[in-house]
Structure 1
Amino acid sequence: MAAPSIPLTISPTVNNDRHFANHPTVTLIEKCSNPQQLKQIHAQMLRVGLFFDPFSASKLIQSSALSQFSSIDYAHKVFDQIPQPNLYSWNTLIRAYATRSHPLNCLSIFSRLLQDCPEKPNKFTYPFVITALAKLKDLELGKGIHGMAVKEGFSSDLYVANCLIHFYVECGCLDMASRVFSNMPERDVISWNSIIDGMAQNGLFDETMEIFCRMEEEGVRPNDITMVGVLTACRRVKVDVRFGKMVHSYIEKNRIKQSLILCNAVLDMYTRCGGVHEAKMFFDKMMEKDIISWTTMLVGYGSLGDFDAARGLFDSLPTKDIAAWNALISAYEQNGNPKEAVAVFNELRQSKTAKPDEVTLVSTLSACSELGAIKLGCWIHVYVKKEKMKLNCHLATALIDMYSKCGDLEKALGVFHSAEGKDVFVWSAMIAGLGMHGCGVYALEMFGKMDVKPTAVTFTNLLSACSHSGLVEEGRELFDQMERVHGVAPGVEHYACMIDILGRAGLLEEAMALIKTMPVAPGASVWGALLGACRLHKNVELAEEAWARLHEIEPRNHGAHVLLSNIYANSGLWEKVSEVRKRMRDVGLRKEPGCSSVEVNGRMHEFLVGDNTHPMSKKIYSKLEEIAERVKCEGYETKKSEVLQMVEEEDMQEKALSLHSERLALAYGLIALEPPTRRIRIVKNLRVCEDCHSVFKLVSKIYDRDIVLRDRYRFHHFKEGSCSCNDYW
Structure 2
Amino acid sequence: MPVKNAVSWNALAGAHGVAGDFEGAEGVSQATPARNVSWWNTDIMRNVRLGDMAEAARIFMEIPERDAVSWNSIIGGYAKLGMYDRALDVFQEMQESGMEPTELTVVSALWACAGTGEVELGRRIHSYLASKGIAADGYIGNALVDMYAKCGSLKLARQVFYGMSIRDVTCWNAMIIGLSVHGHSCDALKLFDSMKIEPDHVTFLGVLNACSHGGPVNEGRAYFNSMIGDYKIVPTMKHYGCMIDMLCRYGEVHEAYRMIKDMPIKANSVLWKMVMAACRVHGHFDLANKAFHELHQLMPMDDGDVITISNAYAQAEWWDDVEHLRTKVIGYSASKHAAHS
Q: CA deviation at 1:544?
A: 4.4
User: Which residue of structure 1 aligns with residue 196 of structure 2?
Assistant: 451
Q: Deviations over 1:205-227 (max 9, x none)?
A: xxxxxxxxxxxxxxxxxx9xxxx
**C-alpha separation between the residues in 1 aligned to 2:168 and 2:337?**
46
Which stretch of structure 1 is more off in the superposition, 461-470 or 490-499? Answer: 490-499
- Asked if 2 retains the 8 angstrom alpha-carbon contact of 1:329 and 1:360, the reply is yes
**C-alpha separation between the residues in 2 aligned to 1:289 and 1:536?**
63
Q: CA deviation at 1:483?
A: 3.2
Q: Does 1:331 align with 2:67?
A: no
Q: Does 1:342 align with 2:84?
A: no
User: Which residue of structure 2 aligns with residue 379 of structure 1?
Assistant: 124
Partner SS, residue 115 of structure 2: helix
**C-alpha separation between the residues in 2 aligned to 1:489 and 1:266?**
35
**C-alpha separation between the residues in 1 aligned to 2:277 and 2:146?**
30
Structure 1 gap segments, 5+ residues each: 1-222, 224-257, 552-560, 588-729
User: Which residue of structure 1 aligns with residue 63 of structure 2?
Assistant: 317
Q: Name which of 303, 307, 328 aligns with 1:565.
A: 303
Q: CA deviation at 1:262?
A: 2.6
**C-alpha separation between the residues in 2 aligned to 1:451 and 1:359?**
27
Partner SS, residue 230 of structure 2: helix
- Asked if 2 retains the 8 angstrom alpha-carbon contact of 1:365 and 1:402, the reply is yes
- Asked if 1 retains the 8 angstrom alpha-carbon contact of 2:205 and 2:238, the reply is yes
Q: Does 1:502 align with 2:247?
A: yes
User: Which residue of structure 1 aligns with residue 173 of structure 2?
Assistant: 428
Partner SS, residue 478 of structure 1: helix
Normalised by the length of structure 1, the TM-score is 0.39
**C-alpha separation between the residues in 1 aligned to 2:104 and 2:330?**
48
User: Which residue of structure 1 aligns with residue 318 of structure 2?
Assistant: none
**C-alpha separation between the residues in 2 aligned to 1:511 and 1:534?**
10
Partner SS, residue 40 of structure 2: helix
Correspondence list, 1:26-175, <5 A: none
Alpha-carbon distance change, 585 to 278 in structure 1, aligned in 2, over 3 angstroms? farther
Alpha-carbon distance change, 363 to 337 in structure 1, aligned in 2, over 3 angstroms? same
Alpha-carbon distance change, 419 to 480 in structure 1, aligned in 2, over 3 angstroms? same
RMSD: 3.2
Correspondence list, 1:536-551, <5 A: 537-538=279-280, 539=288, 541-546=290-295, 548-549=297-298, 551=299
Correspondence list, 1:118-267, <5 A: 260-267=10-17
Residue 265 of structure 1 aligns with an amino acid whose one-letter code is A
Q: Does 1:521 align with 2:259?
A: no
- Asked if 2 retains the 8 angstrom alpha-carbon contact of 1:511 and 1:530, the reply is no
User: Which residue of structure 2 aligns with residue 286 of structure 1?
Assistant: 32
* Structure of higher RCO (CA pairs closer than 8 Å, 6+ residues apart): 2
User: Which residue of structure 2 aligns with residue 360 of structure 1?
Assistant: 105
- Asked if 1 retains the 8 angstrom alpha-carbon contact of 2:10 and 2:42, the reply is no
Alpha-carbon distance change, 503 to 283 in structure 1, aligned in 2, over 3 angstroms? farther
Residue 14 of structure 2 aligns with an amino acid whose one-letter code is N
Q: Does 1:268 align with 2:13?
A: no
Correspondence list, 1:646-661, <5 A: none
Q: Does 1:408 align with 2:153?
A: yes
Residue 53 of structure 2 aligns with an amino acid whose one-letter code is F
**C-alpha separation between the residues in 2 aligned to 1:412 and 1:577?**
53
User: Which residue of structure 2 aligns with residue 478 of structure 1?
Assistant: 223
Q: Name which of 216, 233, 244 aligns with 1:488.
A: 233
**C-alpha separation between the residues in 2 aligned to 1:324 and 1:413?**
33
Q: CA deviation at 1:576?
A: 3.8
Partner SS, residue 300 of structure 1: helix
**C-alpha separation between the residues in 2 aligned to 1:581 and 1:281?**
56
How many pairs align? 313
Q: CA deviation at 1:452?
A: 0.8
Q: CA deviation at 1:277?
A: 5.1
Residue 266 of structure 2 aligns with an amino acid whose one-letter code is P
Alpha-carbon distance change, 259 to 370 in structure 1, aligned in 2, over 3 angstroms? closer
User: Which residue of structure 1 aligns with residue 322 of structure 2?
Assistant: none
**C-alpha separation between the residues in 2 aligned to 1:584 and 1:361?**
53
Residue 286 of structure 1 aligns with an amino acid whose one-letter code is T
Residue 33 of structure 2 aligns with an amino acid whose one-letter code is M
Structure of higher CA gyration radius? 1
Structure with greater proportional helix content: 2
**C-alpha separation between the residues in 1 aligned to 2:291 and 2:144?**
41
User: Which residue of structure 2 aligns with residue 469 of structure 1?
Assistant: 214
Residue 567 of structure 1 aligns with an amino acid whose one-letter code is D
Structure with greater proportional strand content: 1
Q: CA deviation at 1:365?
A: 1.3
Alpha-carbon distance change, 471 to 364 in structure 1, aligned in 2, over 3 angstroms? farther
Partner SS, residue 486 of structure 1: coil
Alpha-carbon distance change, 329 to 467 in structure 1, aligned in 2, over 3 angstroms? same
**C-alpha separation between the residues in 2 aligned to 1:302 and 1:276?**
11
Q: Deviations over 1:207-253 (max 9, x none)?
A: xxxxxxxxxxxxxxxx9xxxxxxxxxxxxxxxxxxxxxxxxxxxxxx
Q: CA deviation at 1:565?
A: 3.0
**C-alpha separation between the residues in 2 aligned to 1:455 and 1:493?**
14
Q: CA deviation at 1:324?
A: 1.4
Structure 2 gap segments, 5+ residues each: 2-7, 281-287, 312-324
Alpha-carbon distance change, 406 to 540 in structure 1, aligned in 2, over 3 angstroms? farther
Which stretch of structure 1 is more off in the superposition, 416-425 or 286-295? Answer: 286-295
Question: Percent same amino acid among aligned pairs?
Answer: 31
Residue 48 of structure 2 aligns with an amino acid whose one-letter code is G
Partner SS, residue 488 of structure 1: coil
Normalised by the length of structure 2, the TM-score is 0.80
User: Which residue of structure 2 aligns with residue 17 of structure 1?
Assistant: none
